[in-house]
Amino acid sequence: MPDNFDNPFAVFAAALIGQIIAALVGDFLRKRVQSFKQGERHDFNTVQAATLTLMALIIGFSFSMAVTRYDQRKTLEEAEANAIGTEYLRADLLPEESASRTRELLRKYLDLRIAFYEEAKSRPATDIAQQTANVQGEMWSVVRSAATSQPTPTIALVVSGMNEVINAQGFTQAAWWNRIPKGAWAMMALMALSCNLLVGYGERRKGELFLFVLPVVISLAFFLIADLDSPRGGAIRVHPQNLLAAAQSMKPP
């Protein structure tokens, strides 16, 4: 996905400019061709209405896709917090030395997961991902050593919990990569340009202010879709409230 799709404001600006140009081109063509003959206006209105309806359907489907992906990211954040909190409690089942080390690593890991959601310029995503992978390796090494030395059902429960912690991170990352396909964006852009071209060509009011209404409305819809679909850009983002609550409960006495 191009980086510009992570900036809803860039999507809004590009969509608005492109649609205004299309509407003005349609208006320019209308002024330089003959008026509609008898019966042609009805046919044109039919085509225009069908195109606008299809545009509305495509925007609706894309908005639904964006909302679904946003809800999925919220659900997986909650699941990840629960998995980490559960494993923190299960660490008590390990031998004392392994339990202490596991809890320490889980607190460090939780801080990294919070940083993943609240990425700052001082900690880019690539560095956070590398540190997360390193801590995952350390945590797995600790529980694996404990399971090797004491292969009991109780220790197996701890190993299973650690596996859930690592899997939860993988599911979250996959959800963040799951974006609206570029083909859908291309289709929306093509339909938006076509609609504005037809509106400009068929506009009969005096003045050109009317030509700006549809571009603004569609651009606002594109902005909202891009905002919901972008995990990091824009104003609507998943706040790691469950991870923060888990970090608060896991603070050492």
Residue 36 phi, psi (nearest 5): -60, 135
Q: How do residues 103-147 score in pLDDT, each as one tens digit? A: 999 999 999 999 998 875 556 778 888 999 999 999 999 999 988
Question: Can you give the pTM of this predicted structure?
Answer: 0.83
Residue 189 phi, psi (nearest 5): -65, -45
Q: How do residues 34-91 score in pLDDT, each as one tens digit? A: 666 766 777 788 888 999 999 999 999 999 999 999 999 999 999 999 999 999 999 9
Whats the size of the chain, residue-wise?
253
Q: How do residues 152-187 score in pLDDT, each as one tens digit? A: 888 899 999 999 999 999 999 999 999 999 989 999
- pLDDT for position 90: 92
Query: Which tokens go with 5?
Result: 């799709």
pLDDT at 206 over 80: no
CA angle 112, 122, 138 (to 5 degrees): 30
Domain count within the chain: 1
User: Is the Cβ–Cβ distance between 119 and 125 less than 8 Å?
Assistant: yes
- pLDDT for position 22: 92
239 DSSP 8-state letter: -
Domain extent at residue 117? 3-249
- pLDDT for position 1: 39
Radius of gyration of the chain (CA): 27
Residue 181 phi, psi (nearest 5): -60, 150
CA angle 234, 236, 239 (to 5 degrees): 115
